[in-house]
Amino acid sequence: MMLSKKFARKAAGIVSVLMIAGAVSACSPEVGSEEWCADLKEKPKGDWTANEAADFTKHCLF
């Protein structure tokens, strides 16, 4: 009985995290889109990650 309660709590937690992650990722524009490029242009360059800088160069400059 105790094992099933622990499993149910753990499964509920995992499902919750996945739902939140899905909701957050659905709100951000796709990398390389015009909206994404515009958003990154407004963001201070010191706050860019290495991946963002590489993607910006690849998708927005060329």
Assess whether 35 and 61 both reside in one domain.
yes
Number of domains in the chain: 2
Q: Which amino acid is located at 36 in the chain?
A: W
Q: Are residues 35 and 19 in the same domain?
A: no
Q: Which domain holds residue 17?
A: 1-28
Is residue 23 located within the same domain as residue 36?
Answer: no
pLDDT (tens, 9 = 90+) of the chain, 62 residues, equals 566 888 778 877 888 777 776 666 668 889 999 999 999 999 999 999 999 999 999 999 97
Residue 13 shares a structural domain with residue 40: no
9: tokens are 């709590």
The label of the residue with tokens 């015009």 reads 34
* 18 plus 3 within the same structural domain: yes
Please indicate, yes or no, whether residues 24 and 39 belong to a single structural domain of this protein. no
pLDDT at 22: 65
Alpha helices in 1-62 (DSSP H): 2-27, 34-42, 50-56
The verdict on 1 and 23 lying in the same domain is yes
